Amino acid sequence: MRPVGSDRIAGFGTSIFTEITALAVKHEAVNLGQGFPDFAAPDFVKQAAARAGIDLELKSVVASVFFSSDPANPDTYPHFYSDLQMYNTTMSSPDPAPFMLQFCSWEVSQKANSWQGRNITRFRNEEYDRAYRASEGEVDPVKRAALYIRMNDIVIQNVAVMTVLWRNGVSGSSTKLRGMDLTGWDGTLWRLPYWYKEA
């Protein structure tokens, strides 16, 4: 009996989703690899936090509400009325400027801008703001990269965000395409200028 599927994918084996799902079942864990749960958090999570001295309220908000732009809805992510919230964000451009804008003080999400500011953590740091402004006019790519590295360090050192996981994606390409160097930290096209076809 011939296996179902193309010969082209025969050598790939299982996908990351298959592996993570199997691990989640084995360890009785919640699998977030294919989306967020739409049910209340288990009591044992709150109990474990209480034993550590943490008073915890876990709330799961459906994505259509959480990511909506309704300024009157307190459950949208720009309101950020909690100590910690979790969601996935990524750079949508090869240039880091639009992504790093979300930590500038003039982008703070607040009632005055109808909760439309990109800085939902309300992080404020004068050094970060100066570095961002300097990056806007810097034409030397090495100096500009150094500014973005410094901005990233400021955000991480001040715990404005915490990297919790590497979100895997699925991509496919020709077996002759080289230079892609896929990463879970960026989009598939992040190294497009370096792609080449092997003869």
Whether residue 197 is contained in a domain is answered as: yes
Whether residue 53 is contained in a domain is answered as: no
Whether residue 156 is contained in a domain is answered as: yes
Residues 152 and 196 in one domain: no
Residues 102 and 150 in one domain: yes
Residues 157 and 181 in one domain: no
In the prediction, which pLDDT does 190 show? 73
Residues 95 and 131 in one domain: yes
Distances (CA, A) of 185 to 40, 49, 166, 180, 188: 29, 29, 7, 13, 10
Residues 97 and 159 in one domain: yes
Whether residue 110 is contained in a domain is answered as: yes
Residues 134 and 196 in one domain: no
Residues 157 and 131 in one domain: yes
Whether residue 132 is contained in a domain is answered as: yes
In the prediction, which pLDDT does 6 show? 47
pTM over 0.75: no
What domain range includes position 147?
85-165
Q: What is the pLDDT of residues 103-120, one digit of tens each?
A: 999 999 899 998 888 888
In the prediction, which pLDDT does 135 show? 96
Whether residue 135 is contained in a domain is answered as: yes
How many domains does the chain divide into?
2
Q: What is the pLDDT of residues 161-196, one digit of tens each?
A: 876 665 566 667 788 888 887 765 566 777 788 888
Whether residue 138 is contained in a domain is answered as: yes
pLDDT in tens, the chain (199 residues): 444 444 544 555 555 556 666 776 777 665 555 455 556 667 887 888 889 888 877 777 777 788 888 888 888 888 887 777 776 677 777 788 999 999 999 999 899 998 888 888 889 999 999 999 999 999 999 999 999 999 999 998 998 887 666 556 666 778 888 888 776 556 677 778 888 888 8
Whether residue 60 is contained in a domain is answered as: no
Beta carbons of 161 and 128 less than 8 angstroms apart: no
Alpha-carbon gap, residue 171 to 190, rounded angstroms = 13
- For the chain, what is the largest distance between any 2 Cα atoms, rounded to a whole number of angstroms? 67
Residues 132 and 197 in one domain: no
